[in-house]
Amino acid sequence: MTIGSADASVLFTRSRPVRAVSREVRELIADLIVTMRRARGVGIAAPQIGVPARVLIAGTGTDLLALVNPRMRRRWGSQLGPEGCLSMPGVVADVRRAFGVEVDARSVTGRQVRVRATGFLSRILQHEIDHLDGILFLDRLDSPRGARARDRERGPFRAGPRPPRRDASGRPVRRTRRSRR
């Protein structure tokens, strides 16, 4: 499999839950692992290869987590750090995330698991679960100027202006320091 698809709209759509961890789901997990390793990434979600299913891979070494239907149970603390994405090569931005998370999911065998992670693994899980919810890390920036490109050959990355936030009645809400969080 390759990262990206002809129809990139899958990246902006909430992925559908997986009914059962079948042979096809295990094959998808194997494809995700191979794709992530070839791209030298630390995490990947099924929508990044064009599959709108709630499946992700996370891990920084030889131990990889394959999670099916992950659901954020709890978050705590705060950390600000650089993030990139296999779907947007060369783009890096400082993103504020929870320092620790607790996630409920199914394992590759279909067993219910609870994962507790802190630090970098916590950041990876949050990033990949965002992919499953149709959210890109650039959507988490405090400012559209926060993203920068690593690769000078591609030219500078410019995030477009964010649409104004709206209150319950649909009127634009003025951004203040406090509302940016």
Asked if the model's pLDDT at residue 177 lies above 60, the reply is: no
Mean pLDDT of 81-103: 94
Torsional class of 139: left (φ above 0), alpha (ψ -120 to 50), beta (otherwise): alpha
Catalytic residue among 24, 27, 83, 128: 128
Q: CA geometry: angle at 50 spanning 89 and 19, to 5°?
A: 130
| Confidence label for 24 from pLDDT (cuts 50, 70 and 90) | very high
How is residue 110 written in tokens? 């279909």
Rg from Cα positions in the chain: 17
- 115-150 pLDDT, tens digit each: 999 999 999 999 999 999 999 999 988 766 656 655
pLDDT of residue 166: 59
Mean pLDDT of 49-59: 96
Active site residue 24: no
Q: What is the pTM of this model?
A: 0.79
57-78: pLDDT as tens digits: 998 877 899 999 999 999 999 9
Measuring CA to CA, which residue among 41, 26, 116, 29 is closest to residue 83? 41
Residue-by-residue DSSP string for 124-178: HHHHHHHHHTT--GGGG-SSGGGEEES-GGG----PPPPPPPB-TTS-B----TG
Give the integer Cα–Cα distance in Å for 34 and 25. Answer: 14
What domains does the chain contain, in order, with CATH numbers?
A: 8-180 (3.90.45.10)
